[in-house]
Structure 1
Amino acid sequence: MPFVFVAPGQQLTPRSGSTFRGLLNSGGDDLATALQTFAAAVDTVTDGLSATEVVSSVLEDVFGPVRETLDIGPEIEVADIVSFRAEGGTVAGLLRALQPALRLGTPEPLPLRRHGSTTAAVLGVAEALLNADRGSAVVACDDFGDHLDAGAAEHLARELRDSCDQMWMSTRRPDAARAFRPYETVRLSLRTGKRAAHQLTPPAGKRELNVLRQLHLQLLPAMSSRAVVVFEGRHDVAALTAISQRRTKEVVPAAYGVRFVESEGHTEVVKICKLARQLGFRVIAGLDFDKPGEGADTSFAEAVRVADDVVRLPERFAIERALVYGVLRRELIEVFTVLDQEWRLGLTGLEELDDADLEKRVAKALHSSGLHTQSMCSC
């Protein structure tokens, strides 16, 4: 069974062992003749260098004191015995010196490395596509897409997947994973101290099928993280991310491999937690508790069942109240006065409110305006 391993390397180089050289070797018997012709042509060009006046003069001066030592008779011209060859004159040496140059938006050709790492990576995958296009081949590719932009990673991953009968690809790029079906994605982990592989199971109904869209939106970008924290809404994620970034003396959650994930309500939190557990993440559910009752208690119990840990705010607390609770009155008035001037929130008469009413008023303004990040950045 043919097996092709796609490895990073220099692109479009004819040196021995390169992907491009392998493609050239498979193109017919003309390569050896072409390489010998190329080497002879290079030798012809360099032969005249020794015969130039300045070079031959310096050569005579250099060899003068050592003619007898090297057994070079006085009748012999030094220029006749010294020639200059690229890399010693071997074909392999000549090919090592060759580097591709491209005219891409420039009048003059520039070395490929000057066109940027993305261009080189795209050409590298293009070589791999041609190399992998073999009948019944198994193609393995490690760390695919590290130097590709998002669009190129998704497009070329799909092209590579479709070019062979079987494809094994490891990647840290969520865009590359989009080229595969959800059930073709396997996540490897070492969370419990043992190597484990995790794979999604087919959805049991329409509700699970709907939540599967969170795989591409939320979980694939978090694929290289150790843990995910699933919150009820996007404002939770935005506000808590801003807070973590403001605490410059503290290590941010990302340093521990923790990623914040948003959902659309407490029932959605449970579904995303379940999906994340299938992929082997350590899962933490973050729940509000602004509306006590049977629904909130049911979601809490479900979250306890499917998540590793659950963090729930105190009773009658949503993220907006949690953000302003315990903040000094003077600071609340200063921050929300500035926000009102910039965003026209209609927050008049803040000075006249008592502490409890002030807290409710600004929390309500946060909920209706969505300025959670801005308020945290202003504190």
Structure 2
Amino acid sequence: MRVTRVLIEGFRGWGHLDVRPGSHVLVAGVPRAGRTDLITALARVLHPDSARGAALSDLHQRPVILDGADSASAEAAGDVAEGQPEAVAGAPAIVGPHDAASEDASGRDSAAPQAPPAELQRVEAAQVEVTLTDLDPDVQQLLDGVLEPLEDSGCASEDPDASADAPLCARLAYRLSYDEDAEALESVVYFPARSNPALGQYSRVPAATRRMLPVVTLDAGQPLQLRAGAGLRRILDERDSKAGAAAFDALAQAVTEAVSALSADQAVAEAVNAVLAVGGTGERIADTALTAEQVGFRTEDGSVAALLRTLRAALHLDAGGLLGLAQHGSTVSAVLSMAEAMLLATVPGAVVLADDFGDQLDAPATEHLAALLRARSGQVWLSTRRPEAARAFEPTEVIRLVRHGGVRSHHQLTRITDRKALVAMRQWHTQLLAALTAPTVAITEGPHDVAVLSMVDRRKPPSSLPLSAHGVRLVASGTGGEGGISQIPRIANLARQLGFRVLAVIDRDKDNAQTTGELTKIQDSCDAVVRLPPGAIEQAVTAGLPLQALADASATLTEYGIPDPMGGQLTEAAVTNLCKVIHKQGLHEQFLEALYTEPNAPHPPVVSMTLALLELAADSSYSGQQLIDVPTVSRPAGT
């Protein structure tokens, strides 16, 4: 069985969502973009026990603008509040690179319009509709009477003349509403094909029918627990319940005998008698004198279950001997927990739902177990924060959820057949995957640009926030000879398909018709472009710094088996030679490291301004120039 469509209206942070997967699904994206909400919505429809978690906050809240606000202001406030469970104040305004003087003392643009006051109003009802196909014969017979033809789009067909050869599907829907008079939530799971919600007429889905659906919710807990309801206990009961019961009976008998022997032990008996002898206690609390012979020991409620609740797994993994599971680290516990959950989820052709997959796993285990689930399931829906989980899926199986300006949206790659686009697709695993949860990527011409920007970004003083605090991930347009300005539009188009806000950082080392055409392509594919002053990244590193600081750093490069590029010469010609050597030898990071060895070393001003402009353009509300030129910086006089 597999899901071909999930349609959500007014559920939690989703005002509207229409997802139509082709096969397996890996749900990823930025924080608060709705990963958990999507998995929960699926479970509400397909899992018979999931409705117990319904809450008033499941009803989506939309902003209602107060009197006097115009429609444009209402739309702006809606963008701010959409997808948020609580009222949110107006978003901070971001000024253009040439409008810094218009900021007020609070750091906001005094001329920028602020969102008007708004109240949030709950929708009347939350609705989740799921379309299922590839039903096995038993389930198909169970759903007879509500089966519909399936269109290629993944939707149930409403065409009365649909082809008789079309595959069949069934739609199930979950509706949640709040009765103001009764002050109670009301939910129903029904068949849309035989219901009319507008008239309050529902053909309810029996709980027994939902239990027959091959749907498994992957819920990893504390592993290797034998208490009732724990994963290992359920596995034991499913494999051989009689043998399991016999094992627990044997444990009860052994414990009884062991405790009797303990009670009869001379040392224990003497200690108990000593207590009973204090002030004649043994005579006062019983009808006859109480001695150690009448004192025994047992578990808290006298049952094996009480004992099993206290048992914890211990493992002998290395020379450390038999240690409790917790002493072996969180990864061991997480791997065993996931193995238990996956064993319980072994249902042929099942739809498997899992939220926050891999959070406690190491990288290889995350990828391995995700691949295992994908291979063994009819369809798997995993939400994750881990890029390693996405490596187990095809790029077209990743649904990336984003949130720009308070508005949620979903993005998915389509199958690519264009050869040039296929070249760009290689960057999915090598570059973009690492930015899976970042809202913004800044694409540079190559790895050296990333190295320079990253190092200066890391060396910022504590009072300045790094790019990561603004949700920006630096990405090279290629590695080695595959990079360059011509590759940026391809990577940018791929990133935009996945919902990233896309920035570019480009050099200005050439100025001809070809680079003008390339710049146009880059601007067409990016939200904003930051362009360095004339020269390449090496000139950006050295611009505006004292000649003596450059010469001192240049002298350290002899450690890498090359002559001193500046040779102690404090001239612009020596700086030009330094830039050539840095470029040819790829010593960008090493040179910067040497620059920063001196106390209170100055930051390369051009690179620092580039980072500041990236931070500025990263905000989805940025409305300044799309092509932002970094100003030229002169070298300090007398240096």
TM-score above 0.5? yes
Structure 1 equivalent of residue 583 of structure 2: 367
Residue of 243, 246, 254 corresponding to 2:456: 243
Tell me the amino acid that sits aligned with residue 300 of structure 1: L
Structure 2 portions without partners, runs of 5+: 1-212, 478-482, 596-639
Partner residue in 1 for 2:143: none
Aligned partner of 1:151 in structure 2 is 364
1:105 maps to what in 2?
318
Contact 1:345–1:365 under 8 Å retained in 2 = no
Structure 2 match to 1:307: 526
- Name the CA shift for 1:244/1:349 in 2 (closer, same or farther; >3 Å): closer
What's the CA shift string for 1:244-280, capped at 9, x where partnerless? 1122332211223221100111121111111111111
Conserved? CA contact 2:411–2:497, under 8 Å:
yes
The residue that corresponds to 1:318 in the other structure is 536
Q: Which amino acid aligns with 2:253?
A: A
1:248 is paired with a residue whose SS is coil
User: Aligned pair count?
Assistant: 374
Once residues 240 and 569 of structure 2 are traced to their aligned partners in structure 1, the CA distance between those partners, rounded to angstroms, is 88
For 1:200 and 1:74, the matched residues in 2 are separated by 83
2:551 touches 2:570 (CA, 8 Å); kept in 1? no
The structure where strand makes up a greater share of residues is: 2
Alignment of 1:244-259 (within 5 A): 244-249=457-462, 250-259=464-473
Q: CA 1:348–1:77 in structure 2 vs 1: closer, same or farther (change >3 Å)?
A: closer
- Offset of 1:107 from its aligned partner? 7.4
Partner of 1:50: 263
Among 222, 233, 243, the residue aligned to 1:21? 233
Shift of 1:63: 4.1
Residue 326 of structure 1 aligns with an amino acid whose one-letter code is G
- Cα distance in structure 2, aligned partners of 1:280 and 1:99: 45
Preserved CA contact (<8 Å) 2:226 2:311:
yes
CA distance in 1 between counterparts of 2:351 and 2:246 reads 32
Instruction: Classify the secondary structure of the residue corresponding to 1:212.
Output: helix
Shift of 1:309: 1.3
TM-score calculated relative to the size of structure 2: 0.56
Do 2:551 and 2:568's aligned partners in 1 also have CA atoms closer than 8 Å?
A: yes
Structure 1 unaligned blocks of 5 or more: none
CA RMSD of aligned residues (A): 2.0
Q: Which residue of 2 aligns with 1:294?
A: 513
> Match of 2:349, SS?
coil
C-alpha displacement of 1:88: 3.6
CA distance 1:54–1:349, change in 2 (3 Å): closer
Q: Return the offset for 1:342.
A: 0.8
Which moved further from structure 2: 138-147 or 166-175? Answer: 138-147
Contact 2:432 2:495 in 1 (8 A): yes
Give the Å deviation of 1:353. Answer: 5.7
Is the CA contact 2:276–2:290 (under 8 Å) kept in the aligned structure 1? Answer: no
Of residues 514, 530, 546 in structure 2, which corresponds to 1:328? Answer: 546
**Alpha carbons 1:39, 1:94 under 8 Å: kept:** no
One-letter amino acid of the structure 1 residue matched with residue 223 of structure 2 = Q
1:79: Cα distance to partner? 3.3
Moved more, 283-292 or 26-35: 26-35
Equivalent AA in structure 1 for residue 270 of structure 2: S
Q: Tell me by how many angstroms 1:155 deviates.
A: 1.7
Q: Do the aligned partners of residues 378 and 22 (structure 1) sit closer, same or farther apart at CA in structure 2, a change above 3 Å counting? A: same
TM-score normalised by the chain length of structure 1: 0.92
Counterpart contact for 1:129–1:163, Cα < 8 Å: no
Question: Shift in Å at residue 165 of structure 1?
Answer: 0.9
Structure 2 counterpart SS, 1:54: helix
Q: Does 1 or 2 have the higher relative contact order (CA < 8 Å, sep 6+)? A: 2
Aligned-partner Cα distance in 2 for 1:378–1:22: 61
Identity between Structure 1 and Structure 2 (%)? 39
